[in-house]
Chain A
Amino acid sequence: MSYNIPFLSIMLTLVSGILVPLIRREGGALRLIRGVQLGVAGLSALLLVRLSGAGASFSYPMGHIPAPWGNELRAGPLEALLALTFSVVMLLSLSGGAEDLRRDVRPDRQGWYCLLMQLLFGALLAMVYTDDLFTGYVFVEIAAVTACIAVAAKESGRSVVAAIRYLIFSCLGSGLVLLGIAMLYCITGQLLFSGLEEAVARLVQSGEYSLPLVVSALLMTLGLSIKSAQFPFHAWLPDAHASATTASSAILSGLVLKGYLVLLLKLILRVFGPALIVSTYIDDLLFLLGLTGMLFASVAALRQEEVKRMIAYSSSAQISYIFLALGLGSEAGWTAACYQILAHAMTKSMIFVGAGEMIRASGGHYWGELRGAARLAPLGGAAFTVGGLSLCGLPLLAGFSAKYCIAAAALDAEWQTAPALFGLAASSVLNAMYYIPAILAIWGRARANEDAPLVWMRGNGEGKCAILLFLAGNLLLGTAFGPVRGLIQQGLSLF
């Protein structure tokens, strides 16, 4: 049974997405896709328990024909863990943003929105499980199209402008990735990761076609970093994430960027192999991009006067942590990168959902209007507070564990130790500099002498549940440091 789970979760997700136009009842679409996401989360958890218990991973041929000829999926503990986290975050983001969704998206278009989000989720699952480079590309494109529409769905002028900028960068990234894939296919003749790994190893050994090989590695890295908004290419991100509806912001920031990074990790580990990456200094490139990104994006976040833009810049900074960890080029570094992927997916979606609650309660996007907003929406405020503190690195929260993991990995690095530790420290201080005043302000009084009572009970049960679950997930990732890291290490060794 557990053998079929990857296939079942992808097909179920896509088919349920396709079914949406046939649903007539209002709100039925949202219920259907969330039900399926819950089911996928359960299945992934089952798969995770089975695989980590057995310490095994397996390939799943899509069709009658075996590996180098037919498509293939691959699942191990790490893939199952990622799928579990992604489905939980997707479900919670859609539940937490459901109220805003009903306000921001026109009723006759909510069905289409749900459909596209479900296709996006299917694409993310396929990116996690795929064992084939070209399948990866196709699903990257589905994610690009649907993520872009997630931004535009609000249909305000600003969000459409943000969506078109997002699309331009996205297309640029896909073009580079496609050219990279074409070059790699031209010199290896393989498209599956397993076949590619052997072929690349052979090419490295014989020294043939070394230039095309390096160029294709560079192109794919570059393309995926553009798509995941790494620092010099992050221009599209703040507008896109800030102008979308809450659920879209949470999904885009928490999951879509991570999907591309998972693919990048697969490319590094499964296709090119750590040795080639290290010998061509691509890891140093990633490291430097990450280091500059985490400082610059944090400084940029300091200057924002709109809450969602600040959170979006902070996302760019947190993505840079992942690049920094990938750039360490060691087993510990990849473990840390995966940990950061999980922690940031949990944390950033929670912050966006919390900010959405506060914006709805206070009716303004700018800091001036949000002062005291947490008193109107205490759970939203709590989500923002816990998320912010987690990103600043308060122990027992997810962000701290991820930072600890990165720092521990950096200690074993060669020349990267000092810069990485400096970067982590500086960026944590910068995080604190923008999150802590913001947290103080939202819990403060809106005006002097006005003491608004906390309003705990105010409708929107699903949003409250989502935030509580988010908080629990964050605490879990923060406290269960050992087991989660163990799972990631086991998964990476079976990758």
Chain B
Amino acid sequence: MLEVLVEQRFYVTAVLLFSVGLAALLLHPNLIKKIIGLNLMDTAVFLFLAAMGYVDGGKAPMVEPGAEAAAYINPVPGGLVLTGIVVAVSTTALFLALTHRLYQKYHSVNLDVILMLARRGTEEE
């Protein structure tokens, strides 16, 4: 079992990081830490994808005409990671913008506090 884990170290690291990110996203009341958790989660998936694309002895896929495919790593996961990064940047920006708005209004980045204040706000409204 241990041998397998060592051989698959990149996948193992990726899923562990994913779980850590998930925990931070779900458990931390602090919104900034939630954002960090979200990014950790996404990055873990990128690590997973990047590790999947690697082929022993492969080069980066700058193809010279007429070369064997076996000489290069798989280009598909690279493209997927690129897309994933762009999506992660977008959601992070939106998340930060919402946090900024909430901070302006409630002067806190703690989600529990914000929820409590928002409930109090609606009752007093």
Contact = CB atoms under 8 A, between A and B. Distances in A.
Do A and B share a direct contact in the complex (Cβ within 8 angstroms)? yes
A141 B45 CA distance: 15
B25 A168 contact: yes
A134 B84 CA distance: 10
A164 interface: yes
Contact of A160 (B52, B76, B105): B105
A175 B80 contact: no
A185 B80 contact: yes
A263 to B, nearest CB: 16
A152 interface: yes
Interface residues of A, number: 29
A178 to B, nearest CB: 5
B105 A157 contact: yes
Contacts of A155: 101
A171 interface: yes
A171 B25 contact: yes
A167 B45 contact: no
B31 A164 contact: yes
A145 B45 contact: no
B111 A164 contact: yes
Contacts of B49: 182, 185
B20 interface: no
A161 B115 CA distance: 7
Contacts of B102: 157, 160-161, 164
Interface in B20-53: 21-22, 25-26, 31, 34, 38, 41-42, 45, 48-49, 52
A186 interface: yes
A391 to B, nearest CB: 26
A144 interface: yes
A160 B111 CA distance: 12
Contacts of A158: 118, 121-122
A138 interface: yes
A305 to B, nearest CB: 12
A160 B90 CA distance: 18
A160 B25 contact: no
B99 A164 contact: yes
Contact of A175 (B41, B76, B98, B106): B41
A178 B111 CA distance: 26
Contacts of A186: 48, 52
Contact of A178 (B42, B76, B99, B114): B42
Given A161-B118, A178-B84, A186-B52, A152 B98 contact: yes
A169 to B, nearest CB: 10
Contacts of B101: 152, 155, 160
A195 to B, nearest CB: 12
Contacts of A165: 111
A183 B45 CA distance: 10
A141 B90 contact: yes
Interface string A136-164: 00100100110011001001011011011
Interface string B92-103: 001100110110
Contacts of B94: 145, 148-149, 167
Interface in A165-200: 165, 167-168, 171-172, 174-175, 178-179, 182-183, 185-186, 191
B83 A138 contact: yes
Given A141-B87, A182-B45, A172 B122 contact: no
Interface string A228-251: 000000000000000000000000
Nearest to B115: A161
Contact of B38 (A148, A152, A163, A171): A171
A148 B98 CA distance: 10
A167 B52 contact: no
Nearest to B87: A141
Given A160-B101, A161-B115, A164-B95, A175 B45 contact: yes
Contacts of B22: 172, 175
A164 B98 contact: yes
A178 B18 CA distance: 11
Contacts of B118: 157-158, 161
Nearest to A155: B101
A493 B114 CA distance: 50
B13 interface: no
B99 A134 contact: no
Nearest to A152: B98
Nearest to B102: A160
B77 interface: yes
A185 B83 CA distance: 15
A185 B76 contact: yes
B23 to A, nearest CB: 11
A246 B122 CA distance: 18
Contacts of A178: 42, 45, 84
A168 B83 CA distance: 20
A258 to B, nearest CB: 22
Given A161-B114, A168-B25, A191-B76, 5 more contacts: A138-B87, A152-B101, A167-B98, A179-B48, A186-B52
23 contacts: A134-B80, A149-B94, A152-B101, A155-B101, A157-B102, A158-B122, A160-B101, A160-B105, A161-B114, A161-B118, A164-B102, A167-B95, A171-B25, A171-B95, A172-B22, A174-B87, A175-B45, A179-B18, A182-B49, A182-B80, A185-B52, A185-B77, A191-B76
Interface of A: 134, 138, 141, 144-145, 148-149, 152, 155, 157-158, 160-161, 163-165, 167-168, 171-172, 174-175, 178-179, 182-183, 185-186, 191
Q: What are the 5 tightest A-B residue pairs by CB atom distance, in nearest-first order? A: A161-B118, A175-B41, A164-B98, A141-B87, A186-B52
